[in-house]
Amino acid sequence: MAAFVASDTASAMYKLVAEAMHSDNSADIFTEKPASATLVYLMAAASIYYSGDQACPDPSVPHLVDAAVRGMRMITFGVEPYRMAQCLAMFTCLSTFHPAYGSTWYLVGLLAVECLSLGVHSYEQQSIMPQKERLEMNRFFWAVFIMDR
């Protein structure tokens, strides 16, 4: 997951979603911060898949993915395009575990096109960003590039 999202960013997003869930505002978090909530749900599902027994997956994974899919429907590329691309990357990773999550080949192609349109491959685009964001975007680009190979 570190290739897609910096660990401190992921921790902050997780805390935001966890606080909302503990205060019975889980529906509100998808309204207020749909990309962050969706990304946290996808990261949790992918983490369970990566760490668990593939023959007997955790029963909470489909619920996490269903919530994330509902969240993805609320996100538009225009509002938070980089976060949406990160969500798409996590969803692509999940698709390698289960065919119900879509065609990995198709999702990787869609993700690669979206990354190019966002300019994550461009050093000129990255040069105007703070160092932390530049590093995250650079890691993200190379992770997508490797998935596409």
Question: Quick one: which of 71, 78, 61, 86 has its CA closest to 2?
Answer: 86
pLDDT (0 to 100) of residue 7 = 67
pLDDT (0 to 100) of residue 52 = 62
Asked if the structure places residue 1 within a domain, the reply is: no
Answer whether residue 88 shows pLDDT above 60. Answer: yes
Asked if the structure places residue 2 within a domain, the reply is: no
Under the banding of pLDDT at 50, 70 and 90, the label for residue 45 is confident
Asked if the structure places residue 29 within a domain, the reply is: yes
Asked if the structure places residue 131 within a domain, the reply is: yes
Query: Which range among 39-43, 100-104, 127-131 shows the weakest confidence by mean pLDDT?
Result: 127-131
Mean pLDDT value across the chain: 76
pLDDT (0 to 100) of residue 6 = 66
Answer whether residue 76 shows pLDDT above 70. Answer: no
Supply the DSSP string of 86-128, one letter for each residue: HHHHHHHHHHTT-GGG--HHHHHHHHHHHHHHHTTT-HHHHHT
Residue 74 belongs to domain spanning: 7-148
Q: How many CB atoms lie within 10 A of CB 118?
A: 18
Answer whether residue 21 shows pLDDT above 80. Answer: no
**Total structural domains in the chain?**
1
Higher pLDDT, 86 or 20: 86
> For 97-125, how does the pLDDT look when each residue is reduced to its tens digit (9 = 90+)?
777 778 888 889 988 988 888 888 877 76
